[in-house]
Amino acid sequence: MKINIHIDPSVEETRVDVRAPTLDAEVRRIESALTRLGEPQRLTGTDGERTVLLDPARILRLFTRDKRVYAHDAAGTWRIQPRLHEVEHRLQSDSFIRINQGEIINLAHVAFMDLSGTGTIAVQLRDGTRCFVSRRSIPRFKAALGL
In a domain, 22, yes or no: no
Confidence grade of residue 42 (pLDDT, cut at 50, 70, 90): confident
Share of the chain above pLDDT 70, in %: 95
For the four alpha carbons of 57, 63, 69 and 71, in that order, the dihedral sign comes to: negative
Does 39 score more than 90 pLDDT?
no
pLDDT, tens digit, 9 for 90 and up, residues 59-110: 999 999 999 999 999 888 999 988 988 888 777 677 899 999 999 999 999 9
pTM: 0.71
Kind and range of the H or E run holding 87:
helix 84-90
**Beta strand pairing call for 110-114 and 68-73:** unpaired
- pLDDT at residue number 46: 92
In a domain, 7, yes or no: no
For residue 133, give the DSSP letter: E
Sequence-distant (6+) residues with CB within 8 A of 138 are 119, 121
Does 57 score more than 60 pLDDT?
yes
Q: What is the mean pLDDT of the chain?
A: 87
Strand ranges across the sheet with 121-125? 110-114, 121-125, 130-133
For residue 118, give the DSSP letter: T
Q: The domain that contains 91 carries what CATH number?
A: 2.40.50.1020
For the four alpha carbons of 120, 125, 127 and 132, in that order, the dihedral sign comes to: negative
Confidence grade of residue 5 (pLDDT, cut at 50, 70, 90): confident
Count of domains observed in the chain:
1
Residue 89 has φ and ψ, to the nearest 5°, of: -65, -40
- pLDDT at residue number 123: 93
In a domain, 21, yes or no: no
In a domain, 140, yes or no: yes
In a domain, 34, yes or no: no
In a domain, 19, yes or no: no
In a domain, 23, yes or no: no
Range of the domain at 81: 43-145
- pLDDT at residue number 2: 81
In a domain, 29, yes or no: no
